[in-house]
Structure 1
Amino acid sequence: MKRSRFTEEQIIGVLKEQEAGLKVSDLCRKHGISDATFYKWKTRYGGLEVSEAKRLKALEDENSRLKRLLADAMLDNAALKEIVGKKVVTPVAKRQAVRHIQEALALSERRACALVGLARRVARYVSTRSDDAALRQRLRDLACQRRRFGYRRLGCLLAREGFSPNHKELFRLYQEEGLKVRHRGGRKRALGTRAPVTIPQEPGQRWSLDFVSDALICGRRFRILAVIDDFSRKNLALVADTSLSGGRVARELTALVERYGKPLMIVSDNGTEFTSHAILKWADEMKIEWHYIAPGKPQQDGFVESFNGRLRDECLNETLFTSLSHARQVLADWREDYNTVRPHSQLDGRTPDQVARQVSRGHAPETLAIPSTPSHKRTGSLLLSGYKKGGTSFDGLID
């Protein structure tokens, strides 16, 4: 007998009739039920009113619904655990995940697609594209023979052999087969000397170079070539332009050599302008030693890096440049102030121009000069070493 034949109200009505005095056999014959069914109803609904029976039925339905939800959630978790650790992003990968869930847990296609997030139409899609097995094999063979050829050159060779894939198809196969040409390492750069740099003992012995970048108010970028003397900290040049090539740097250095004399050494980083053929040729012709700092070690060029920080903090960050000519004028004024007015903490508050004037070639600066003392007078000699006079080095005793 189907349960839906009698409602809770009807069952309680039957039980009320029995309580009123009607025999069980007569009651069962009247309603067409068996004795077992009657006593089962009595065990379950005996003593209940209709409202209480309805409430019990509602609780049973809610309990059944929650059980189904829990079972569904547990099944969904089990399905998701089946594909955990797999990258499911592309339609092909999602299609494979749906098939795996269906086979492992016997879920329907609708439910598996909902879990993976794939449309059923996409899950049923069957590609009509040919596998291009012959083209793939020939592409691999040619790539092995011509290891530095890209997909365009390989496409030209394939076209000569009668294959006619378009550039998009060819690139797709090229990528799927993993035939991308490896990029070689960076170009070989000039290393210059790697010996430890000696501390300059007088002006003009060593210069340092570096670039600083900034922008006009219109957004156009420009660069500044900064050249300083490492001993006096004097700023020899601030060259601003939108483009500063190696040849331009060489011409600016030639002008500085004509004005200040030739340094013994120039220090810079490994920028493309400083390692260009123009700079290497210029340094060889001028017989100037060019020292390149180690890559990624700006602290080895600390003099010019410190200057760059002062330039940016005191000038570039304080000014809005309207044009390149305006930037050049502001830089020229700031350079004049830096060299002649601004006190330098590493020069005991003096300016770079004062140090350059006070220190002549072959003599130590005033702060390094050793005054005459009674002990010196007793010994009658003072050892000097490492200085040059008239272009020649001397070590000796001064009585």
Structure 2
Amino acid sequence: MEKKVSVGRACRVVGMHRSRWYYQNRKNDQPVIDKLQAYAEAYPTRGFDDYYGKIRNEGLVWNRKRVLRVYRLLKLKHRRRHKRRLPARVKKPLQVPQAANHCWSMDFVADALVSKRKIRVLTIMDDYSREVLAAHADFSLPAQKVVDVLKDIALQRPLPKRIRVDNGAEFIADKFTKWCTDNNIEILYIQPGKPMQNGYIERLNRTFREDVLDAYLFESLEEVRILSDEWMDRYNRLHPHQSLGGLAPATYARQTQTKV
């Protein structure tokens, strides 16, 4: 048989102050919930420290204990991590730009040293003049190094309006996409499994592989870099490009710039 008791007596029995019974949390945690869920969706492999750091960098001054409490209530620590599909890529025809620095193309070429250690080469070209802007070799080329190479190129010529790339991890990374946004560069992603939508750089990569990677055995990364730089210089000055009427890329760039 149930028996009613006063709030005061019930609180005394359990050893709780009566004010706690009447206390109501006036904080609205919905903004915190929305923010954490958004980060969990965008960065499913990250944890609380990463999310809280992003929140602080956004200028939000929520207390760490409060954010951690909501994080635990949402059980984000124990969430399952699912792979996400890439955003739908719209096919865009491969067109010749009307001037230099309107559109660049980028891609990677892979190879290995004699020691079997893998290397990668980042190739960048101007779609208009077909000039090779970079053939940078390294053991690892994450998004930040890609941005660093682009910054080096920017010391010698204007940045492009667009950059055409595939859907590689380096090109969809936040560091790369943010840098492009900050510099007003549109990223043209090709459709997955359609490398010929980036046909200019694919053709260049084949030439680079034939002339350099498949032609020599490399003992060190430095050897690859030296030969890549020499090849880039010869290609721009001497390579008779059929699409340019037999002119070398550097010659074509000078002549068209003079006409303008």
The alignment's TM-score, normalised by the length of structure 2, stands at 0.65
In 1, the alpha carbon distance for the partners of 2:197 and 2:90 equals 13
- Quote the residue 1:10 is aligned against: none
More RCO (CA 8 Å, sep 6+):
2
Name the CA shift for 1:353/1:191 in 2 (closer, same or farther; >3 Å).
farther
Unmatched segments (≥5 aa) in structure 1? 1-181, 364-399
Asked if the contact 1:339/1:352 (under 8 Å) is kept, the reply is yes
Asked if the contact 1:238/1:332 (under 8 Å) is kept, the reply is yes
Alignment of 1:218-367 (within 5 A): 218-360=115-257, 363=260
Name the CA shift for 1:304/1:258 in 2 (closer, same or farther; >3 Å).
same
Q: Secondary structure at the match of 2:159?
A: coil
In 1, the alpha carbon distance for the partners of 2:187 and 2:90 equals 7
Name the CA shift for 1:247/1:192 in 2 (closer, same or farther; >3 Å).
farther
Unmatched segments (≥5 aa) in structure 2? 1-79
Asked if the contact 1:204/1:229 (under 8 Å) is kept, the reply is yes
Q: Secondary structure at the match of 1:260?
A: coil
Asked if the contact 2:107/2:124 (under 8 Å) is kept, the reply is yes
Q: Deviations over 1:323-345 (max 9, x none)?
A: 00011001111111111122222
Larger radius of gyration: 1
Question: What is the root-mean-square deviation in Å for CA atoms of aligned residues?
Answer: 2.1
In 2, the alpha carbon distance for the partners of 1:282 and 1:290 equals 11
1:198 shift after superposition: 4.4
Which amino acid in structure 1 is aligned with residue 194 of structure 2?
Answer: K
Query: Percent identity over the alignment?
Result: 37
In 1, the alpha carbon distance for the partners of 2:240 and 2:92 equals 33
Which amino acid in structure 1 is aligned with residue 141 of structure 2?
Answer: L
In 2, the alpha carbon distance for the partners of 1:187 and 1:361 equals 49
Asked if the contact 2:90/2:191 (under 8 Å) is kept, the reply is no
Report the more deviating stretch, 322-331 or 338-347.
Answer: 338-347
- Aligned to 1:203, which of 77, 100, 106? 100
- Quote the residue 1:105 is aligned against: none
1:190 shift after superposition: 5.8
In 2, the alpha carbon distance for the partners of 1:223 and 1:286 equals 26
In 2, the alpha carbon distance for the partners of 1:190 and 1:355 equals 37
- The number of residues matched between the two structures is 181
Q: Secondary structure at the match of 2:105?
A: strand
1:234 shift after superposition: 0.4
Alignment of 1:135-154 (within 5 A): none
Name the CA shift for 1:196/1:318 in 2 (closer, same or farther; >3 Å).
closer
The alignment's TM-score, normalised by the length of structure 1, stands at 0.43
Asked if the contact 2:92/2:190 (under 8 Å) is kept, the reply is no
Alignment of 1:23-34 (within 5 A): none
Asked if the contact 2:241/2:249 (under 8 Å) is kept, the reply is yes
Structure 1 runs of 4+ aligned residues shifted over 4 Å read 190-198
1:199 shift after superposition: 2.9
Asked if the contact 1:193/1:290 (under 8 Å) is kept, the reply is no
Asked if the contact 2:94/2:199 (under 8 Å) is kept, the reply is no
- Quote the residue 1:187 is aligned against: 84
- Quote the residue 1:68 is aligned against: none
Which amino acid in structure 2 is aligned with residue 317 of structure 1?
Answer: D
Asked if the contact 1:189/1:275 (under 8 Å) is kept, the reply is no
In 1, the alpha carbon distance for the partners of 2:88 and 2:153 equals 24
In 2, the alpha carbon distance for the partners of 1:247 and 1:280 equals 11
- Quote the residue 2:46 is aligned against: none
